[in-house]
A and B are shown apart, each in its own frame.
Chain A
Amino acid sequence: MRRVSVLLAAVVLAGCGSDQPEPKAAARTVPTTPPATATPEETPGPSPTATPRPPARRVIATGLDVPWGIAFLPDGDALVAERSTARVLRIDAGGGEPRRVMTVPGVARGAGEGGLLGLAVSPAYARDRWVYAYLTSTQGDNRIVRFRLGERVRPVLTGLRSAGVHNGGRIAFGPDGKLYAGVGDAGDTSLSQSPSSRNGKILRMDPDGDNVRVWSLGHRNVQGLAWDRRGRLWASEFGQNARDEVNLIRRGRNYGWPEVEGVGPTGGRFTNPEVTWSTSEASPSGAAIIGRNLYVAALQGECVWKVPLDGASAGKPTRMLSGRYGRIRTVVAAPDGTLWVATSNRDGRGSPRDGDDRIIAVRVA
Chain B
Amino acid sequence: MTDDDSQPISVLLVEDDPGDVVLIEEAFEHNKVRNSLKIVGDGVEAMAWLQDPANPRPDLVLLDLNLPRKDGREVLAEIKSDPALRSIPVVVLTTSKAEEDILRSYDLHANAYVTKPVDFNRFIEVVRQIDEFFVTVVKLPAHRPPPR
Contact = CB atoms under 8 A, between A and B. Distances in A.
A and B: bona fide binding partners: yes
Interface of A: 40-44, 46, 55-57, 304, 306, 318-324, 362-365
A204 to B, nearest CB: 32
Nearest to B16: A318
Contacts of B22: 56-57, 362-365
* Shortest 4 CB-CB contacts between residues of A and residues of B: A56-B26, A320-B19, A57-B120, A321-B19
A263 to B, nearest CB: 20
Interface in B19-37: 19, 21-23, 25-26, 29-30
Contacts of A321: 17, 19
Contacts of B95: 322-324
Given A43-B124, A55-B26, A324-B95, 16 more contacts: A42-B121, A43-B26, A56-B23, A56-B25, A57-B23, A304-B19, A318-B18, A320-B17, A320-B18, A322-B17, A322-B95, A323-B95, A362-B19, A364-B18, A364-B22, A365-B22
A326 B41 CA distance: 23
B54 interface: no
A96 to B, nearest CB: 19
A43 B29 CA distance: 12
A343 to B, nearest CB: 13
B119 interface: yes
B98 interface: no
B120 A318 contact: no
A43 B24 CA distance: 13
- Identify the interface centre among A56, A321, A364, A365: most chain B CB within 10 Å of its CB: A56
A318 B41 contact: yes
Contacts of A41: 121
- Identify the interface centre among B16, B17, B29: most chain A CB within 10 Å of its CB: B17
Interface of B: 16-19, 21-23, 25-26, 29-30, 41, 68, 95, 118-122, 124
A183 B119 CA distance: 37
A226 to B, nearest CB: 17
B119 to A, nearest CB: 5
Contact of B18 (A46, A306, A323): A306
Contacts of A363: 22
Contacts of B17: 318-322
Contacts of A43: 26, 120-121, 124
Contacts, number: 52
Q: Is the interface of A mostly helix, strand, loop or mixed?
A: loop
Contacts of A40: 119-122
A203 to B, nearest CB: 33
A59 to B, nearest CB: 9
Nearest to A57: B120
A319 B26 contact: no
18 contacts: A40-B120, A43-B26, A43-B120, A43-B121, A43-B124, A44-B30, A56-B22, A56-B120, A57-B19, A57-B120, A306-B18, A318-B41, A319-B16, A320-B18, A362-B19, A362-B22, A364-B18, A365-B21
Nearest to A47: B29
Nearest to B29: A46
Nearest to B66: A322
A318 B19 CA distance: 10
Given A57-B23, A306-B18, A365-B22, A324 B124 contact: no
A324 B25 CA distance: 18
B70 to A, nearest CB: 15
A197 to B, nearest CB: 39
Contacts of B68: 318
Contacts of B29: 46
Nearest to A316: B68
Contacts of A304: 19
Given A41-B121, A43-B124, A56-B124, A324 B19 contact: yes
A304 B22 CA distance: 14
Nearest to A55: B26
Contacts of B30: 44
Given A56-B23, A56-B26, A318-B41, A365 B18 contact: yes
A364 B118 CA distance: 18
Nearest to A320: B19
A329 B51 CA distance: 41
A319 B30 CA distance: 26
A17 to B, nearest CB: 25
